[in-house]
Amino acid sequence: MKRIYSVFLLLVVLVLSLSFTDYTIAFIKIPIDSLRYPQETHLKNLRQLTFGGDNAEAYWSFNGKMVAFQSNNKAWGLECDQIFYLNVDGPILPPGKKPPLISTGLGRTTCSYFLPGDKRILYASTHLGNKACPPEPGRTPGGKYLWPIYDTYDVFVSDLKGKIKKQLTSTPGYDAEATVSPQGDKIVFTSMRNGDLDLYVMNIDGSGVKQITHELGYDGGAFFSPDGSKIVFRASRPKTTEEKQEYLDYLKQGLVAPTAMEIFVCNADGSGLKQVTNLGKANWAPFYHPSGKKIIFSSNHHSQRGFQFNLFMINEDGTGLEQITYDKVFDSFPMFSPDGKRIIFSSNRNNNGTRDTNLFVADWVD
């Protein structure tokens, strides 16, 4: 009788689990490669980690077990982006239950990254300028899509309980988009301290700040190569007098138009600058492949109207372009785990027709 009862209970559990959403199936860790498009042969065992809101810029811890990310999920009581972290292989959080908060909950935040030891995280925040969320730029009908460059952003270091341990930048103007070298000794970030959006490198404690890009245009979203010798980033390069004037006019308003960007690389000291892509439209969110010889990035160059973003991979010399993901709306912010075996990215797939952007993790297949 006990055996029959046990079998009955098992059948009930299976029926109930199948009647729930993909989230429940993910929670009991049944592989969901139905989330992967057939053409996505570099991805295996694709799993969804978040459900609701905009979840982006998920960056791995040094031990490859956690990610820090930003979210504006209203179910978590958020008005604008705040920084959280989660255990990638832990149970999926039920809807409405938020993961541990790292940022203060004040202002707006962006671009979090683990420091060596995985007990501290750096991120940029506007909370010293104003405790409220800063206003987002409006968009006029037919007008360009614009990113805000808030001049109250500074880079902070926090512990995993949300206590700020140090402020790394304090100059007037935008300081954000900071990431850490795999060796844990350097930080690269974007700053407007010279009147333009350029890349700077500093020591892990905030000392020894050095400007490494100098051309007019927006340089941002930078990451070190696996050996720390190079840096890959996105950049706009206005060329005509009209393009330059438009860029500068937007910059005075704390705005950039990210509709024309290409991928660049340089040595960690800024030397050897070279352009990798020449695809047109918006090519951004680059990250080095574990080999250090290829770059994965997000692009809409293949989209007729520019709304579809997918992940592509290209050799460092600009050859061998290959499409990696095939969602019909948005895939971006790819990052390989420290051991190179997994990849995490943000996508609009499986959002039931909403605008939600969620985090997905998969095994990487070369």
Q: Is the pLDDT of residue 2 over 90?
A: no
State whether 17 and 121 are in the same domain.
no
Domain span holding position 51:
31-364
State whether 341 and 280 are in the same domain.
yes
State whether 205 and 156 are in the same domain.
yes
pLDDT tens-digit series, residues 190-218: 999 999 999 999 999 999 999 999 999 99
pLDDT the model gives residue 31: 52
pLDDT the model gives residue 200: 98
In the 3-class helix/strand/coil scheme, how is the chain assigned residue by residue?
A: CHHHHHHHHHHHHHHHHHHCCHHHHHHCCCCCHHHCCCCCCCEEEEEECCCCCEEEEEEECCCCCEEEEEECCHHHCCCCCEEEEEECCCCCCCCCCCCCECCCCCCCEEEEEECCCCCEEEEEECCCCCCCCCCCCCCCCCCCCCEECCCCCEEEEEECCCCEEEECCCCCCCEEEEEECCCCCEEEEEECCCCCCEEEEEECCCCCCEECCCCCCCEEEEEECCCCCEEEEEECCCCCHHHHHHHHHHHHCCEECCCCEEEEEEECCCCCCEECCCCCCEEEEEEECCCCCEEEEEECCCCCCCCCEEEEEEECCCCCCEECCCCCCEEEEEEECCCCCEEEEEECCCCCCCCCEEEEEEEECC
State whether 126 and 26 are in the same domain.
no
State whether 64 and 24 are in the same domain.
no
Nearest Cα neighbor of 308 from 288, 287, 331, 274 is 331
State whether 8 and 90 are in the same domain.
no
pLDDT tens-digit series, residues 312-361: 999 999 999 999 999 999 999 999 999 999 999 999 999 999 999 999 99
State whether 124 and 205 are in the same domain.
yes
State whether 222 and 284 are in the same domain.
yes
State whether 191 and 86 are in the same domain.
yes
Number of domains in the chain: 2
Is pTM beyond 0.75 here? yes
Amino acid letter, 172: P
State whether 88 and 41 are in the same domain.
yes
State whether 43 and 58 are in the same domain.
yes
State whether 41 and 7 are in the same domain.
no
| CATH number of domain containing 64 | 2.120.10.30
The fraction of the chain above a pLDDT of 90, given in percent, is 85
